Amino acid sequence: MTHASPITEAQSVVAACRADFPALDQDVSGHRLVYLDSAASAQQPSVVIDAIAYYERHDHANVHRGVHTLSHRATDAYEGARETLRAFINAASTSEVVFTSGTTESINLVAQSFCRPKLGPGDKILITHLEHHANIVPWQLVCEQTGAELLVAPINDRGEVELEALYALMDETVRLLAIAHVSNALGTIIPIKEITAEAHAREIPVLVDGAQGVPHMPVDVQDLDCDFYAFSGHKMFGPTGTGVLYGKEALLEAMPPYKGGGDMILEVSFSGTTFNELPYKFEAGTPNISGVVGFGAAAKYLEDLGMHNVEAWEHELSQYMTAQLSAVEGIRLIGTAAHKAGVQSFLLGDIHPHDLGTILDHQGVAIRTGHHCAMPVMEFFGVPGTARASLALYNNFDDIDRLVAALGKAREIFA
């Protein structure tokens, strides 16, 4: 089994980065680890791990508070990461980059602060059938709280959003479209720029769940023209417990605070409180400073590699994975969109995904099994769950060969 296309120099730069990830350098069940679960959580390069450790050893203090040296250093490190992430997604200003605990909190912030005050009976929130639970449940909650209605745009049997049907649902009662950039269960890449233009033509703001977008392709929020873009640190090689909500400044400015506490205020008295400026208005309490430092280091690492290179390399890998998996006897691929990221859900014969996961694990191959926090997607395809292999920049062709070989063993056991 060999891959077909020649590797460009740019791609080989990315391919060489595997050694930057210490967790990949280990054996599992007596085999070299093949990590194909990056869509659940990606591994961290040494530069991220070291940045966090350095911060904790030398610079830690609270941010935005003290006049002493360490507080100043901590603030610089924290705000430096904000600037790195601003550049990473090409936001116009750091005022538009709000740190959160992850994509889930970013989406909940928009649901509660942007949507809730303006929603009532007769209003609608529009999502699609392929969303992750984190882009479904916050909208269900705000609809329950306000009497608004949740609309769901359909997908087709390749796992693509039906664009015409989506546009047909965009009427004057829709207050927000919330949509994934890349489906975590199916790998579908959604044409966000085109959809945003259609939504804006109908004066509908757009939130993009970018958790699976930022690790795999260049993201330019100004080019996409989305109103909000939510993503997590740990899907893009940073630590867990970190995330960003990007929002257009005028929208964030008009939104009330989401949580109350320290750091989000200018002045507090018992007769009232003056809220801090953006983005601090949304960052109540002492933030996850060391996590954000690591998050910034991860974005810097990706910038240095070049997201165009990452995208090109993963495209090669993804094409190869699809071709190799398609050739496995008895396999059913779920998610076969024309434009796909390196995520492939599948079923093998009548083997339950959970059993497949165990058999693969015992050959050192880590995949995700289950409903992938996208139960409506599983229901659409009539399956209780799937096995899912997901790629990241540190994977290679050999990983995919190992996956295919491990599936062969599973077929043997369940023969």
Least distance in angstroms from the C-beta of 375 to another protein: 8
Q: Could you give the 3-state DSSP secondary structure of residue 90?
A: coil
Q: What's the token pair of residue 85?
A: 């992430």
- Nearer to another protein (CB atom), residue 261 or residue 408: 408
**Binding residue (CB under 8 A) for another protein from 18, 32, 72, 133:** 32
Piece of the chain touching another protein by CB under 8 A; list 30-38, 160-168, 221-229, 290-298: 30-38
What does the alpha-carbon distance between residue 405 and residue 415 come to, in Å, rounded to a whole number? 15
204, two tokens: 């509908």
Please tell me whether residue 120 binds another protein under the rule CB under 8 A. no
Q: Does residue 312 bind another protein (CB under 8 A)?
A: no
The region of 17-25, 107-115, 146-154, 351-359 touching another protein under the rule CB under 8 A is: 351-359
The only residue of 143, 364, 389, 392 in contact with another protein, by rule CB under 8 A: 364
Residues 6+ apart with CB under 8 A from 245: 98, 100, 105, 106, 109, 110, 228, 229, 230, 282
Q: Which parts of 269-388 fold into alpha helices (H)?
A: 289-305, 307-326, 353-361, 375-380
Tokens of 20: 């930057």
Q: Pairing mode, if any, of strands 265-269 and 272-275?
A: antiparallel
Does the protein bind another protein through residue 29 (CB under 8 A)? yes
Shortest Å distance, C-beta 155 to another protein: 20
**What b/e readout covers 181-194, taking b as 16+ CB neighbours within 10 angstroms?**
bbbbbbbbbbebee
Closest to another protein by CB, 162 or 355 = 355
Q: What is the DSSP letter of 149?
A: E
Query: Does residue 162 belong to the site contacting another protein (CB under 8 A)?
Result: no
Task: Between 73 and 409, name the residue whose CB sits nearer to another protein.
Answer: 409
Q: Do 370 and 385 touch, CB atoms closer than 8 A? A: yes
290 near another protein (CB under 8 A) = no
In 3-state terms, what secondary structure has residue 181? coil
Nearest to 184 by CA among 132, 244, 240: 132
Integer Cα distance of 61 and 55 in angstroms: 10
**Which residues, at least 6 apart from 78, have a Cβ–Cβ distance to it below 8 Å?**
63, 287, 289, 292, 293
Min separation Cβ 401 and another protein, Å: 6
Is residue 248 near another protein by the rule CB under 8 A?
A: no
Task: Check binding of 351 to another protein (CB under 8 A).
Answer: yes
Q: What is the closest distance, in whole angstroms, from the C-beta atom of residue 79 to another protein in the complex? A: 40
Sign of CA dihedral 317, 103, 107, 114: negative
What binding mask, one character per residue, do residues 227-246 give for another protein by CB under 8 A, x or -? --------------------
Q: Which is nearer to another protein, 285 or 384 (CB)?
A: 384
Query: Which one of residues 3, 31, 60, 73 is an interface residue with another protein (CB under 8 A)?
Result: 31
- Contact positions with another protein (CB under 8 A) in 368-407: 369-371, 384-385, 398, 401-402, 405
Side-chain-side CA neighbours of residue 308 (13 Å): 4
| Binds another protein (CB under 8 A): choice among 206, 236, 359, 391 | 359
Q: Which residues are catalytic?
A: 373
> Would you count residue 355 as binding another protein (CB under 8 A)?
yes
Footprint of another protein on this chain (CB under 8 A)? 29-32, 351-355, 358-359, 362-364, 369-371, 384-385, 398, 401-402, 405, 409, 413-414
